[in-house]
């Protein structure tokens, strides 16, 4: 079987990487090749297209409104951040109430929500004090950039990605409309997806000033979420990021 896979995939290396993650009810086997995931570049391109879809709809709508005599097409455009239903990241439900301002949405419905659970379970004074400082700095990290609502998977790491003969597959989503940069944060915590993925993604959505710092802000949510799921083994990482962002 592995010889057949090597021939079909055009690879000289085929290493078992364990079963696919995400709590899937079906059983699958993951493999690493000498070129990484076979469809890594395609995943990056398709993810960028997903993130750009709403922006493109907005641009198309604006162009049609400026064209005299044109019958306007009914375009589905999302102008706020949030989602129309509750979604979950792990077993914790996400607050997805619609808001106009991204930083306010992220501070209140992502970070504050997680830190509220930390406070309830652990009563962590240091986390509470750092959050009070960090809230004052958040808007500065978004100076000069435009955040357009993008449809996100919401929990996109290697365990929630697979492949079939037609291309990449993503599953176990925690979807909402948010900042496209948020999508890349958790993968960066767990070794990422490889250079071909990021090259394809950033060819369509280039990095903007302050990207690295904002990745820390977005990783903070996932570390806090892990803290609330798995215990205070993730406390140190959460506090380290907050300390770094409040220097």
Cα end-to-end span (Å), the chain: 54
Question: Are 121 and 143 in the same domain?
Answer: yes
| DSSP structure class, residue 95 | P
Strand (E) or helix (H) holding 212: helix 211-230
| Cα angle for residues 106, 205, 63 (degrees, 5° grid) | 90
Tell me the pTM.
0.85
Number of domains in the chain: 2
With 70 as the cut, is the pLDDT of residue 31 above it?
A: no
Per-residue tokens: 123: 């009563």
- The values of phi and psi at residue 92, to 5°, are -90, 120
Question: Are 20 and 120 in the same domain?
Answer: no
Mean pLDDT estimate for the chain: 89
| DSSP structure class, residue 19 | E
Question: Are 20 and 56 in the same domain?
Answer: no
Question: Are 52 and 31 in the same domain?
Answer: no
Question: Are 104 and 177 in the same domain?
Answer: yes
Question: Are 229 and 128 in the same domain?
Answer: yes
Residues comprising the chain, all counted: 247
pLDDT at 22: 47
- Report the range of poorest mean pLDDT among 13-22, 113-122, 188-197, 204-213: 13-22
Per-residue tokens: 69: 């005599």
Nearest to 176 by CA among 44, 92, 51: 51
pLDDT at 16: 60
118 contacts 138 by C-beta, under 8 angstroms: no
pLDDT at 152: 99
Handedness of CA 219, 137, 113, 96 (dihedral sign): negative
| Average pLDDT of span 120-137 | 97
- Report the range of poorest mean pLDDT among 11-25, 36-50, 148-162, 193-207: 11-25
Domain containing 15 equals 1-35
Is 244 among the residues known to form the active site?
Answer: no
> Phi-psi bin for 154: left (phi > 0), alpha (psi -120 to 50), beta?
left
Question: Are 2 and 85 in the same domain?
Answer: no
Question: Are 100 and 18 in the same domain?
Answer: no
In tens, the pLDDT along 53-94 reads 999 999 998 887 776 555 566 778 999 999 999 999 999 999
- Report the range of poorest mean pLDDT among 60-64, 225-229, 232-236: 60-64
- Residues of the chain with pLDDT > 70: what percent? 82
Distance between CA atoms of residues 108 and 193, nearest Å: 29
Higher pLDDT: 60 or 9? It is: 60
CATH number at residue 226: 3.90.1200.10
With 60 as the cut, is the pLDDT of residue 155 above it?
A: yes
Nearest to 47 by CA among 153, 186, 139, 159: 153
Per-residue tokens: 36: 């990484």
Distance between CA atoms of residues 43 and 22, nearest Å: 17
Question: Are 112 and 177 in the same domain?
Answer: yes
With 60 as the cut, is the pLDDT of residue 23 above it?
A: no
Residue among 32, 101, 124, 155 flagged as catalytic: 155
| Cα angle for residues 80, 84, 88 (degrees, 5° grid) | 110
Question: Are 168 and 201 in the same domain?
Answer: yes
DSSP calls for 27-58? --EEEEETTSSTTHHHHHHHHHHHHHHHHHHH
b (16+ CB within 10 A) / e for 29-45? ebbebeeebbbbbbbbb
Question: Are 19 and 44 in the same domain?
Answer: no
Question: Are 24 and 77 in the same domain?
Answer: no
């Amino acid at each position: 079987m592995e010889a057949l896979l090597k021939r079909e995939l055009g690879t000289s290396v085929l290493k078992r990487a364990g079963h696919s993650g995400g709590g899937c009810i079906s059983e699958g086997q993951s493999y690493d090749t000498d070129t990484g995931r076979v469809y890594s570049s395609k995943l990056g391109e398709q993810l960028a297209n997903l993130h750009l879809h709403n922006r493109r709809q907005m641009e198309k709508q604006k162009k049609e409104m400026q064209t005299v005599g044109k019958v306007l097409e009914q375009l589905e455009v999302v102008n706020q951040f949030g989602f129309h239903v509750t979604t979950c990241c792990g077993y914790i439900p996400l607050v997805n109430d619609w808001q106009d301002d991204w930083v306010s949405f992220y501070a209140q419905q992502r970070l504050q929500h997680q830190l509220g659970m930390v406070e309830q379970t652990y009563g962590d004074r240091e986390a509470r004090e750092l959050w009070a400082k960090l809230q004052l700095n958040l808007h500065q990290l978004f100076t000069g950039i435009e955040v357009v609502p993008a449809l996100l998977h919401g929990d996109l790491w290697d365990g929630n990605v697979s492949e079939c003969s037609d291309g990449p597959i993503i599953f176990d989503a925690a979807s909402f409309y948010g900042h496209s940069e948020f999508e890349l944060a958790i993968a960066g915590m767990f070794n990422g997806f490889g250079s071909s993925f990021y090259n394809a993604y950033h060819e369509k959505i280039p990095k903007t000033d302050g990207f690295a710092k904002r990745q820390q802000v977005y990783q903070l949510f996932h570390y806090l979420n892990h803290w609330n799921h798995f215990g205070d083994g993730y406390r140190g990482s959460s506090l380290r990021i907050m300390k770094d962002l409040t220097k």
